[in-house]
């Protein structure tokens, strides 16, 4: 004769622990795929100011909804947008665009803005990103006073940052997306 079966005992934390574990696994799966589920298109182009390529300018594409894309122009004024560190491109659709050369080097020192305010305040430029490869050039015009687009003065070029400024530059660039 066999012994009677005893009911299975589950600890007081058993079901709730199992439920929490399942929910955490589902949430982790959803979050890990969120950024990879978006449709991106490659965006590149050139930025000029008064017909001259604009180096070291930050270009930001801000979509109506979602994460923005950005890049810094190279010495020829060329850029290729990045959505994340690992993914190139921008979301499909309409974007507001801002272009700026101003950069805070340290709390007491910054590089001057060479781009007129109309191109970097309020995201007044507009671009449309479509499927496939997008080449979007920006031909900016300086202010009538002629002060914009001249670049740093000779005295600014000769300034050598202090070692503490160099550390702050590296730290600020490391934290950028």
**pLDDT, tens digit only, all 177 positions of the chain:** 566 666 655 545 444 544 455 455 454 444 444 456 899 999 999 999 999 999 999 999 999 999 999 999 999 999 999 999 999 999 999 999 999 998 876 777 778 899 999 998 888 899 999 999 999 999 999 875 443 444 444 444 344 444 444 434 334 344 444
Beta carbons within 8 Å of 20's beta carbon, 6+ residues apart? none
Q: What is the pLDDT of residue 158?
A: 41
Pairwise CA distance, residues 33 & 31, whole Å? 5
Residue showing tokens 């974007």: 95
Q: Show the tokens assigned to 158.
A: 């000769």
**DSSP per position, 79-118:** EE-BSSSS-B-EESEEEEEEEE--EEEETTEEEPP-S-HH
Q: What is the pLDDT of residue 68?
A: 96
Q: What is the pLDDT of residue 3?
A: 63
Question: 41, 46, 47: which is closest to 69 by C-alpha?
Answer: 41
Three-state DSSP class for residue 133: strand
């Amino acid at each position: 004769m066999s012994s009677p079966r005893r009911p299975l005992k589950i600890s007081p934390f058993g079901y709730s622990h199992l439920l929490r574990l399942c929910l955490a696994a589902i949430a982790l799966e959803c979050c890990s795929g969120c950024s990879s589920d978006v449709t991106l298109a490659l965006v590149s182009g050139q930025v000029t100011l008064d017909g001259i390529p604009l180096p070291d300018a930050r270009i930001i594409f801000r979509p109506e909804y979602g994460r923005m894309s950005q890049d810094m122009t190279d010495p020829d004024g060329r850029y290729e947008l990045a959505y994340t560190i690992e993914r190139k491109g921008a979301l499909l659709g309409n974007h507001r665009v801002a272009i700026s050369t101003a950069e805070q080097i340290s709390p007491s020192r910054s590089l001057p803005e060479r781009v007129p305010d109309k191109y970097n305040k309020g995201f007044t430029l507009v671009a449309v990103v479509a499927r496939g490869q997008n080449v979007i050039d920006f031909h900016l015009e300086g202010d009538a006073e002629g002060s914009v687009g001249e670049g740093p003065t000779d005295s600014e070029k000769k300034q050598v940052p202090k070692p503490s400024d160099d550390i702050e530059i590296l730290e600020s660039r490391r934290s950028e997306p």
